[in-house]
Chains A and B, each alone.
Chain A
Amino acid sequence: MSTSEKKDPNADDVRKRLAELLEDSRFNSDFTEEQRSELNTALRSSEENRTFASQYLLDSESLKEALATDEISAISTGKSTGRITDTREAGMLRRSLPWVAMAASAALVGLLCFMWLSRAPIGYIQDESGALFAEGAGPRDGILERRSYELVSGLIAVELRNGVTMTVKGPAEFDVVDAFRVRLHKGNVRAMAPETGHGFTIETPNADIEDLGTEFGVSVDKESGDSEVHVFDGRVDVKNPGENAAIASLELGESARILKGQINSNGSALPDRFFTPADVSYSRWARASESIRQDEDVVFYYGFNEQIEDDRLLKDEALHGDANDGTITGARWVSGRWPGKRALLFDQQGDSVQIEIPEALPRFTFAAWVKLDRMDEPLTAILNSMGWKEGSLHLQISRSRESFVPRAFPRPVRKKSSVRVPTGQWSLLVAVVDVEARTARTWINGELTIDGYMAEVPIIDPGTCFLGEYRESIDGARSRGFRGRMDEVVLLRRAMSEKEIRKMYNRGRPHSKALRDT
């Protein structure tokens, strides 16, 4: 892509060859010493070749940046199932742009050369819960390369670039060889291989376990080297280390214990012994919810745990202050963000939870994880004070779903983002109001959507409130019914920062796609 000056009739061929060598060097495991020598000799020999190569590297970086940015737009408009890792990569490259624009130096070219010669990552850590790696044996920003890892404790969910996903429970020691081979020295791994990952193999000290389009678990005992294989779907082949012929095949529902040179049937496969990616995100959320419960500023924290002795009670699980238990009317217990998590389903007229908020709040943060099914009325209540009076609190979604607005306050409001409350998927709605600062802000899934300035300063004294509906009085007309599920609701008597809100979203999201830290 360099400027062409057609002096030398062979110049085009030379450039073509240089471009080819540069592309071959990109994945340098396949790059031979002869090719390396040819490339360096060509670059030493002429200024024109060096100019061409420098421009080629610069253009490659620009290309990478431009294409990764497209990927981000696709992700944010929901047109792609792009991965978090794409976002991270693109973010890194976007940050690199000023270097391209400003830094014309040895450092720039050196950096481009380093980036160029690097191997592409083999995989990425998609999610983690309490993951601790041994020093020097952990991934940098979740990128997996060809090397050894030691997970001391916690859980990780990994996606390899061929689409294979793996969950690893610490303590575990493993080597990532390539996207089709992982060597497990110790620990417990569950692997799910799609069509593109056919042939994925987990090597253990006593056997190689090859996937034939399936989901399976492998555990290895470091001292003995013995392993266990459990097949949850499809079939796996068991081979002697490094050999091609299978010595046994295991089908769906089977498990085996593999000792040196010996395979013993081990009864039925035990899926519960191996963690799924959903288990990783559930565990990540559970740890985070524990720290919210301990926050001294919590007015109430509803984790939506069904109480066996009274299923009409929504228990306040905050560890400090008086309990503000809610009283459930109508709403039914169903599953929440994860299979093991409970939620309340509001799908009938009158489904609601009554809560007493006995204190005036000079500032507060309200956060709710909801899955909106539909909107029957122009406004849908999330948390509404009973009746309409000065200081009452009305957090609701407008039909356009453009906003999640604290209605009690005079505007103006400024719309900051076009993000809407989605239907059919779990979303975190957050409102932060600060009377002294005269601000009222709302976030949808960690993104600031409304930034309102309050012209007057009301007293915020919510009193009797309802989750999921609006009532004029206890026996009065009911409206603005919320239709969908809620599975976590918290009120704090302080204003959370944007960073805390993004963290809350990242820790509670039921999927692995996280927001980038800003």
Chain B
Amino acid sequence: MAFAVARFEILAYTRDRSRDRLVFDEDVVMAMAGTSEPLAARQSERIDALEVCLSKLKPEHQKTLTDYYAKGYNFKEIAAFQDRGHSAVKAMVMRLRQSLGKCIERQMASSA
């Protein structure tokens, strides 16, 4: 039996993905759930801060993060676009995440 191209359903998507090799062990996922409650409650505040912090980044850094997080390119692919080394791109993303983290904390502290 055949069927037409179906529209996306998040549950089917995550169910299917679960067939991939798992990164996290089940007990770790359960343990992390316990720590997530207070964090999730604050997340909308962090998103506001994140947006302010993102707007302060240089356009090329924003682009790298968009390619990596929003478009799903891996370090190797971005390295090929930017004509630089794979580890240089990885280091840049890690650095940007770190500075965004600090910026978010500062932003939240100042608006508290």
Contact = CB atoms under 8 A, between A and B. Distances in A.
B94 to A, nearest CB: 6
Contacts of B100: 1, 59, 63
B5 A133 contact: yes
A109 B32 contact: yes
B39 A161 contact: no
B69 A67 contact: yes
A66 interface: yes
Interface stretch (A20-28, A313-321, A372-380, A492-500): A20-28
A54 B70 contact: no
Nearest to A27: B74
B80 A141 contact: no
A105 interface: yes
Contacts of B38: 104
Interface stretch (A38-46, A258-266, A382-390, A406-414): A38-46
Contact of A67 (B34, B44, B65, B104): B65
B5 A143 contact: no
B23 A196 contact: no
A34 interface: no
B40 A100 contact: yes
Given A101-B44, A133-B2, A51 B72 contact: no
Contact of A138 (B6, B13, B98): B6
Interface residues of B, number: 65
A460 B25 CA distance: 68
Interface in A86-128: 86, 88-90, 92, 95-97, 100-101, 103-106, 108-111, 113-121, 125, 128
A25 B40 CA distance: 22
B40 A104 contact: yes
B24 A54 contact: no
Contacts of A51: 35, 39
B39 A86 contact: no
**Interface residues of A: mostly helix, strand, loop or mixed?**
helix
Interface string B53-77: 0100000001001100111111001
Contacts of A162: 77
A465 to B, nearest CB: 38
Given A20-B94, A106-B30, A142 B5 contact: yes
B39 A40 contact: no
Interface string B7-40: 1111011101110111111011111111111111
Nearest to A106: B33
Contacts of A139: 5
Interface string A4-28: 1000000000001001100101111
Interface string A23-65: 1011110010000100110011001001101110011101111
A43 B24 contact: yes
Nearest to A30: B74
Contacts of B69: 60, 63-64, 67
A517 interface: yes
A117 B22 contact: yes
Contact of B8 (A59, A131, A141, A156): A141
A305 to B, nearest CB: 28
A224 interface: no
Contacts of A58: 36, 39-40, 43, 46
A68 interface: yes
Contacts of B37: 104-105
Contact of A115 (B17, B32, B97): B17
A25 B98 CA distance: 18
Contact of A196 (B21, B62, B80, B101): B80
B47 interface: yes
B3 A67 contact: no
B42 to A, nearest CB: 9
Contacts of B28: 40, 43-44, 50
Q: Which residue, of A4, A40, A54, A156, has the highest number of chain B Cβ atoms within 10 A?
A: A54
B21 A120 contact: no
30 contacts: A1-B98, A28-B20, A50-B31, A50-B32, A51-B35, A54-B35, A58-B36, A59-B50, A59-B97, A62-B43, A67-B70, A70-B62, A86-B70, A89-B72, A96-B10, A104-B36, A105-B33, A110-B33, A114-B17, A117-B17, A117-B23, A117-B24, A121-B72, A125-B5, A128-B5, A135-B3, A141-B6, A141-B7, A141-B13, A161-B73
Interface of A: 1-4, 16, 19-20, 23, 25-28, 31, 36, 39-40, 43-44, 47, 50-51, 53-55, 58-60, 62-68, 70-71, 86, 88-90, 92, 95-97, 100-101, 103-106, 108-111, 113-121, 125, 128, 131-135, 138-143, 152-153, 156, 161-162, 179, 196, 517
Interface of B: 1-10, 12-14, 16-18, 20-25, 27-41, 43-44, 46-47, 50-51, 54, 62, 65-66, 69-74, 77, 80-81, 90, 93-94, 97-98, 100-101, 104-105
Given A54-B32, A153-B2, 17 more contacts: A1-B101, A1-B104, A1-B105, A23-B93, A28-B21, A50-B32, A50-B35, A58-B46, A67-B70, A71-B71, A86-B71, A92-B10, A105-B33, A113-B24, A121-B72, A141-B8, A517-B7
**Closest 5 interchain pairs by CB?**
A141-B8, A1-B101, A120-B72, A106-B33, A104-B40
